[in-house]
Amino acid sequence: MAFLRQETNGEEMINLARSGCQGKNNVHLYYWTDLTILAWIPNEESWSVFVNNRVKEIRQLSDKTCLKHIPGASNPDLPSRECLVNQLIASKWWQGPSWLYKNEDSWPISEESVPEETFLKQRKTVDKLNEESQKVVVFNKRYPVPRKVSAYGDKNLTYTFSGNTLPTKPLIPILVRILKEANKFLKDGSFNYILINRYKDGQDKIGSHRDNETDMDPSSSIVTFSFGAERTMIFKRSNFNSVKIPLKNGSVLAMNPPTNEF
């Protein structure tokens, strides 16, 4: 059998073969597949969702010691390689390769290896955020902040706050998606900078402060995406009652100007 990615019924075929052989003595099942799939099954890599689910099912339904590699020239999976109907009817698709009728000692043994690029294509990609611990300056003294921060955006941008200057790192794919979502809240223009604050848990916090740094455009909106433990943002302004907004996991808070002057 060939466990190619294009197949959607491989597992059903295995079950049918097994059920048909139950109760019979001296019947051994062998699963013939191509080299790539043969390498995926025992490998503990973190694969893409499709491949990962596929590999799990095959592991559950088959004994990996019975998996064998069939060379490309002998692989009967002709439809995936394109062929005419009359070629398919007259092919080994129906009979299997001739060596299959011989003793197991005569079966081909593969010494080939799968190129690393094949694994790279199907590995689950993870975007890694590079974070740094910061300290704030209060009355000429530096105090640690209970959060880690990181900045991403256009090249050569910097953001200075409380005595810290953060240069931007190049945007990674997940942040490009977030930036596109943030831009939907703007009537004109687009955001070019993302500041990431990561707290240890929902209890860590920083004191009251203003986002009125000179590096920020006072006429721009601020859009906040929250992930993880719920946190509460408190808005305070002279002569106004404070406002508390719970920031739940997956929530988005869009703040129009002059929010960054509060």
As a whole number of angstroms, the distance between CA 8 and CA 249 comes to 36
- The reply to whether 161 sits in an annotated binding site is yes
- The reply to whether 199 sits in an annotated binding site is yes
Parallel, antiparallel, or unpaired: how do β-strands 252-255 and 222-225 relate? antiparallel
**Which one-letter DSSP state was computed for residue 185?**
T
- The reply to whether 50 sits in an annotated binding site is no
As a whole number of angstroms, the distance between CA 257 and CA 220 comes to 6
- The reply to whether 159 sits in an annotated binding site is yes
- The reply to whether 160 sits in an annotated binding site is yes
Q: CB–CB of 107/116 below 8 Å?
A: no
Q: CB–CB of 253/227 below 8 Å?
A: no
Q: CB–CB of 147/173 below 8 Å?
A: no
- The reply to whether 69 sits in an annotated binding site is no
What DSSP string describes 2-58? ---TT-S-HHHHHHHHHHHHTT-TT----EEE-HHHHHHTT----B-HHHHHHHHHH
Q: How far out from the chain centre does Cα 120 lie?
A: 13
- The reply to whether 31 sits in an annotated binding site is no
Residue 164 to residues 108, 121, 171, 192, 199, Cα–Cα distance (Å): 65, 39, 21, 19, 18
Residue numbers in the known binding site for 2-oxoglutarate are: 197, 199, 209
Residue numbers in the known binding site are: 139-141, 159-161, 197, 199, 209
Residue numbers in the known binding site for substrate are: 139-141, 159-161
